[in-house]
Amino acid sequence: MLNFGYAILSSYILNAITNAGLEPYLGFLHQKRPGKMSLVLDLMEEYRAWVVDRVVIKLREQYKNKQYIDTKLKSILISEIQATIAKKYIYNGKKLKLEHIIQRQVYRLSGEFAGEHNYKPYIFKW
């Protein structure tokens, strides 16, 4: 379930990276390897626990005897993750959808690469 959820999250991260004009294969935490989108993996770290892990933990008890992810469970995971990403959170004093926060954070990272300012990860309030 985690890997499936991470794949969903990675698509949102890749979209934000592409919109910002950054190279998804050039990361700073994950090693550069052919075919690995290192920057996507790097930026996912900021959101994994909040977006995917929480959903999987919530569903774990209900589906603990599942040996594989069936169509129904995939649908539930997709819906739960999309709901989390569509939900609004406080960001710099404003309520924004997480999808927009991710995009702004990628633009901030772009500013870090350009030497304009220091990158600060988004901190979720539990």
pLDDT tens over the chain, length 126 residues: 899 999 999 999 999 999 999 999 988 777 777 778 999 999 999 999 999 999 999 998 888 777 788 899 999 999 999 999 999 999 999 999 999 999 999 999 999 888 898 889 898 876
Q: Which structural domain range is residue 102 located in?
A: 2-113
User: Residue 126: inside a domain, yes or no?
Assistant: no
Could you tell me the two tokens for 125? Answer: 């309030």
User: Residue 102: inside a domain, yes or no?
Assistant: yes
User: Residue 64: inside a domain, yes or no?
Assistant: yes
User: Residue 83: inside a domain, yes or no?
Assistant: yes
- Structural domain total, the chain: 1
User: Residue 104: inside a domain, yes or no?
Assistant: yes
Distance between CA 76 and CA 8 in Å, rounded? 12
User: Residue 85: inside a domain, yes or no?
Assistant: yes
Long-range contacts of 54-57 (CB under 8 A, 24+ apart): 54/84, 55/5, 55/80, 55/81, 55/84, 56/1, 56/2, 56/5
* CATH number of domain containing 97: 1.20.120.920
User: Residue 122: inside a domain, yes or no?
Assistant: no
Could you tell me the two tokens for 11? Answer: 């698509």
User: Residue 39: inside a domain, yes or no?
Assistant: yes
